[in-house]
Amino acid sequence: MQPQRVATVGEEELQSRSGDDALVMRSSVALDLVVQLLSQAKHSGDQAVLARADLADIAAWFRATEDRKDRLDRAVAGLYHGLPTGVIDRALARRLYGAPLVTSVHRLETYAVCPYQYFVRFGLRVEPDMQRAAQAAEVGNLLHDTVFELADLHRRQVVRFDRLSRSDMIELAERVFAEKLLESRHMAFQSGIRGARAEDLRNYLQAIAEALWLQATSGSYEPCQLEWSFGMPDDEAPAFVVDLPNGEQVFIRGRVDRLDLYEDGDTTWFRIFDYKSGSSYKLDATRMFYGLQLQLMVYLAVVQASLAEQGKRPRPAGAFYMPLLRLPGISEVPQADDVAQAELRKAYRPEGYLNADARAISAMDRNLPGAKSELFGDLYKKDGALRQTAKVWTDDEWDAAVDFTLNSVRDIATQLGEGNIPVRPYVYAHNDRGCTHCAFKAVCHFEPMDHTSAYRVLTSKRFTDIVHRSVEESESR
């Protein structure tokens, strides 16, 4: 079918030309059409598209004046735009990021998401529009503050959770939550949380309170530090220093949400928790392997070094993400209340790894190994051996996971120092890409259709891949 003739008009002419025989369109729509047709020709190689009469009409209209021609030329040039070179001068990199490099784990993870994103955000210091993200974070902050206050009451022995009944614990959590609501930093909620939202929050809070209560009543670990910050100007604890292969160092600062200890003879078992209100709450081998998930292992190394400095003999007992805002899967049929509650409790179990040593495990839950744990699930078989699916690591495996992660830190810090900032977002699944939540799409000019080869494609990994790679790396050093 032959495309019909079009008349392209500026916005002011659109009304007066509406009776014209030719198809009348706004100039902005016409420009979009040109770009789409040229892009189609470029990607499909179908040159016939270029012979369309409507394309010629539109192009003629744009070429009629200098202003319009300029608009057309710029739109067409965009089709052939190349990505930034991906390298800046080393001296400039030092000026932008600082020398020595002082950074956080979150920032290093951003580099793994996309080096260019790191450059724009932390080098050029472009502030993303965080309004939507800030709104989403408000509920998480409110729950985070509530959990901090609760754990602190227990730590300071103002209220011992192990002396409360389950229902008393939930009542206490609701009281602390109500107090937190009145604080100025949670002003957004002061007009009241009502209806379904209030009911949802109440359910989350109840599940979190039960998880805290179970940790205290079933186990022997005691909270030692809450929101333990290191490396910031007012912190007692210094930054964590990682030596780089080029003789330089990187200084890492951060904050451990909770550190628990269990003294067992001359061994100090320790476990760390990171409270999560976002969607990523699982310790994931693929994300660890590609540097997207460094936090728990770096924090584990920081805590281990700090405890050793205090003269203790620390051994990692576990590292967990603790969900604060997590919806269980929606069932296809309505569930009985007790089933729904059990699902919710399960959704709020800490997610992470334990030390395979039976002493470390039974001190987390005295029901283990004899029975199933409400907190950690079914870890043991009937014969007392650990299940294949049990998320446990031996001491060697903990060491390998930490070493591997510190090597990822070294790689990223070295790349930063060398000024390497390629536009190279990761892609793991169609809905899991570096660009998915990036606020800098307008800055990098990355076009998924045009720049497919720039993607860093992640392939699925298992923890054994991390252990093997770690062993290889240590042998090659």
User: Which amino acid is it at 74?
Assistant: R
Name the nearest CA neighbour of 402 among 314, 322, 323, 324. 314
Which SS3 state, helix, strand or coil, does residue 123 take?
Answer: helix
Which listed residue (103, 110, 117, 295) binds ligand SF4 by CB under 6 A? 117
Alpha-carbon span 425 to 417, nearest angstrom:
19
Stretch that binds ligand SF4, among 64-72, 239-247, 338-346, 435-443 (CB under 6 A): 435-443
Dihedral of alpha carbons 290, 294, 296, 301, sign: positive
DSSP 8-state secondary structure symbol assigned to residue 449: T
Q: Min. distance of Cβ 136 from ligand SF4 in angstroms?
A: 19
Which listed residue (55, 58, 93, 114) binds ligand SF4 by CB under 6 A? 114
Residue 86: C-alpha distances to residues 91, 128, 357, 366, 419 (Å): 15, 21, 46, 54, 8
The smaller minimum CB distance to ligand SF4, of residues 285 and 438, is found at 438
Alpha-carbon span 344 to 27, nearest angstrom:
54
Q: Min. distance of Cβ 290 from ligand SF4 in angstroms?
A: 14
409: how many CB neighbours lie within 10 A of its CB? Answer: 22
The smaller minimum CB distance to ligand SF4, of residues 245 and 448, is found at 448
Q: Min. distance of Cβ 412 from ligand SF4 in angstroms?
A: 15
What secondary structure does DSSP assign to 41-56, as a single string?
A: HHHH--GGGGG-HHHH
Which SS3 state, helix, strand or coil, does residue 298 take?
Answer: helix
Which listed residue (204, 213, 270, 440) binds ligand SF4 by CB under 6 A? 440
Find the radius of gyration of the CA atoms of the chain.
28
Q: Min. distance of Cβ 28 from ligand SF4 in angstroms?
A: 24
Which listed residue (297, 434, 458, 466) binds ligand SF4 by CB under 6 A? 434
Name the nearest CA neighbour of 318 among 275, 260, 366, 377. 260
The smaller minimum CB distance to ligand SF4, of residues 297 and 423, is found at 423
Q: Min. distance of Cβ 423 from ligand SF4 in angstroms?
A: 5
Q: Min. distance of Cβ 124 from ligand SF4 in angstroms?
A: 11
Q: What are phi and psi of 205, to 5 degrees?
A: -60, -40
Name the nearest CA neighbour of 272 among 356, 354, 386, 159. 354
Stretch that binds ligand SF4, among 146-154, 218-226, 299-307, 437-445 (CB under 6 A): 437-445
Alpha-carbon span 125 to 476, nearest angstrom:
38
The smaller minimum CB distance to ligand SF4, of residues 172 and 292, is found at 292
Strand partners, 250: 101, 242
Stretch that binds ligand SF4, among 27-35, 330-338, 406-414, 433-441 (CB under 6 A): 433-441
Which SS3 state, helix, strand or coil, does residue 343 take?
Answer: helix
Q: Could you say whether residue 123 binds ligand SF4 (CB under 6 A)? A: no
Which listed residue (81, 372, 441, 462) binds ligand SF4 by CB under 6 A? 441
Task: Give the number of residues in contact with ligand SF4, rule: CB under 6 A.
Answer: 12
Q: Min. distance of Cβ 288 from ligand SF4 in angstroms?
A: 20
Which listed residue (31, 444, 458, 466) binds ligand SF4 by CB under 6 A? 444
Which listed residue (435, 458, 466, 467) binds ligand SF4 by CB under 6 A? 435
Footprint on this chain of ligand SF4 (rule: CB under 6 A): 114, 116-117, 423, 425, 434-435, 438, 440-441, 444, 446
